[in-house]
């Protein structure tokens, strides 16, 4: 029984492997593959254009997210510092942390953005965009 099954499977696979398509069928299949390739090229071009148009928006979203995380980090550090000092100094420590965040944010607005993301013109740092201009 096993020998008959093995012989039948071998015959079936050999027959499929030995069969050849006619030239007309091969030509139709080739044309279908070319049409599919052209369609995929168009889709790839459209996806690339979409990705390029979204690059600026994604960069901005990433910076906003990171900025929010930094602000939460400052708030957590303020709570840590406040918990490590006497009650009479708690308001001074919180004010110090608030000033730290404010000065850091203004410094980034005045200089940081321009140095990091200004037009570079072949240099290492940005050369325009200071003070948000």
Q: Is the residue at 74 inside a domain? A: yes
Q: Is the residue at 10 inside a domain? A: no
Give the count of beta carbons closer than 10 Å to the beta carbon of residue 115.
14
Q: Is the residue at 68 inside a domain? A: yes
Q: How far apart are the first and last CA of the chain?
A: 86
Is 119 in a helix, a strand, or coil? coil
State the residue range of the domain holding 44. Answer: 21-132
Which tens digit of pLDDT belongs to each residue from 54-64?
A: 988 898 899 89
Q: Domain total for the chain?
A: 1
Q: Is the residue at 93 inside a domain? A: yes
Which tens digit of pLDDT belongs to each residue from 79-109?
A: 999 999 999 999 999 999 999 999 999 999 9
Dihedral of CA 89/95/101/103: which sign?
Answer: negative
Q: Is the residue at 45 inside a domain? A: yes
Q: Is the residue at 65 inside a domain? A: yes
Q: Is the residue at 58 inside a domain? A: yes
Q: Is the residue at 123 inside a domain? A: yes
pTM of the model: 0.56
């Amino acid at each position: 029984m096993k020998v008959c099954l093995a012989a039948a499977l071998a015959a079936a696979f050999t027959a499929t492997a030995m069969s050849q398509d006619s030239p007309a069928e091969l030509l139709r299949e080739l044309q279908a593959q070319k049409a599919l390739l052209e369609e995929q090229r168009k889709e790839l071009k459209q996806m690339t254009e979409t990705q390029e148009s979204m690059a600026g928006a994604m960069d901005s979203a990433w910076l906003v997210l990171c900025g929010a995380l930094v602000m939460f980090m400052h708030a957590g550090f303020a709570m840590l510092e406040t918990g490590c000092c006497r009650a009479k100094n708690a308001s001074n420590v919180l004010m110090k942390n608030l000033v730290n965040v404010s000065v850091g944010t203004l410094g980034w607005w005045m200089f940081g953005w321009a140095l990091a993301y200004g037009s570079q013109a072949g240099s290492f740092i940005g050369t325009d965009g200071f003070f948000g201009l």
